[in-house]
Structure formats: structure tokens, C-alpha cells
Amino acid sequence: MLAVRLSKAALVGALALTCTLVVYGNVTEPAVNLAFVQHVLSMDTILPDSGIADRAITDPALQRGVFAMIVAAEAVTALLLWIGVALMLARLRAPRGDFDRAKTWAIAGLSVGFLVWQAGFLGIGAEWFGMWMSKVWNGQQSAFRFAMTVLGVMIYVALPEAEDPEAGRRG
């Protein structure tokens, strides 16, 4: 069971690292991803005859605000995941209930991450702002891959362990 617990912590750690790098890139080099958000919100590359163009947000201050909210949500995801990793590692040999409580932080981070990429990018970006219509500013495939990876890890982490790691050592 120790190997399973280590595996869960490692997978959460891998996603925490990815989210941290995403946040780092957005903070240190925001131009590319801010441009992505601006084009999606302004809907300037959707089909010309689309009937949803009135949803566009073209105010640069609002666009920067949305970008800041996205980066903040990604940072919260990374922070919760790192806390989850630290607590899971600290409780590797703890009784099942203690380890399950440590997983709560990771599950919270995975949930926020899923909401960012599924609801934020796929729901709001792709469907509300028509990102799916853009040949240039379309992040659906990347968002879907990340959302499904997060969901897969969340399912795995949420699974209960079959027994306590120390159960076989008790006299």
C-alpha cells in the first residue's frame, strides 16, 4: 500500500509542477497567454457570420482582469496540490483515515484545476465565446487533455486504500 500512496502523491506532484510552471510562465511572460485571452474574449477570429459575436468583451481592462482571474485560479490549483502532496507524503505510513484527510487538499486542488480547464476554457472559452470556431486561438485540445488528466488523477487519488500500510506489521 505504501507504493500506491507514493504513486498518488507523485501524480499529484506532477500536476502541481505543471500548474506551477503554467503560473510562472503567465506571470513572467504574460504576453502570449494574455493575447490568447484577449482574442478569445474579443471573438475576433470566430466565423464572420456567427450570431454570438455580441458576447464579445473588447475592453482591454476587462480582458486583463479575466486573465488575472485565470492566473489566480491556476495559482490556487497549484498551491492546493502542493499542500496535498506535502500532507500525503507526511502521512504515508499513517492510518487510512489520516491519509484520506491528507488527500482532501489534493482533491480540492484537482477540483479547482478541473473547473479552470473544463468550465473556464472548454465551457466559457470554447462555447460561450466561440473559441471552437477559431483556427488560430483555439485551446480546446490542450484544455481537454489537461482536464481529463486532472480528472483521471482525481479518480485515482480518491480511491480508498485496501488496508492500512502498517496492518501487516501489527502483532
DSSP state, 57?
-
Instruction: Tell me if 138 is assigned to some domain.
Output: yes
Contacts of 70 (CB under 8 A, 6+ apart): 26, 37, 116, 120
Q: Give me 35's grid cell.
A: 493575447
The answer, yes or no, to whether residue 28 has pLDDT greater than 90, is yes
Domain around 105: 2-160
| pLDDT value at residue 171 | 45
Q: Give me 87's grid cell.
A: 500532507
Instruction: Tell me if 113 is assigned to some domain.
Output: yes
d(CA 114, CA 108) in angstroms, rounded, equals 10
Check residues 130 and 163 and name the one with the higher pLDDT: 130
Instruction: Tell me if 104 is assigned to some domain.
Output: yes
What pTM was estimated for this model as a whole? Answer: 0.91
Closest CA to 139 of 36, 29, 55: 36
Instruction: Tell me if 22 is assigned to some domain.
Output: yes
d(CA 2, CA 61) in angstroms, rounded, equals 50
Give the model confidence (pLDDT) of 82-115 as tens digits: 999 999 999 999 999 999 999 999 999 999 999 9
| pLDDT value at residue 6 | 97
DSSP state, 91?
T
Q: List the Cα angle 118/135/19 in 5-degree steps.
A: 35
Band of the pLDDT at 1, cuts 50, 70, 90?
confident
d(CA 20, CA 25) in angstroms, rounded, equals 9
Instruction: Tell me if 171 is assigned to some domain.
Output: no
Instruction: Tell me if 29 is assigned to some domain.
Output: yes
| pLDDT value at residue 164 | 55
Least confident of 7-16, 100-109, 155-164: 155-164
Give the model confidence (pLDDT) of 50-79 as tens digits: 999 999 999 999 999 999 999 999 999 999
How many distinct structural domains can be found in the chain?
1
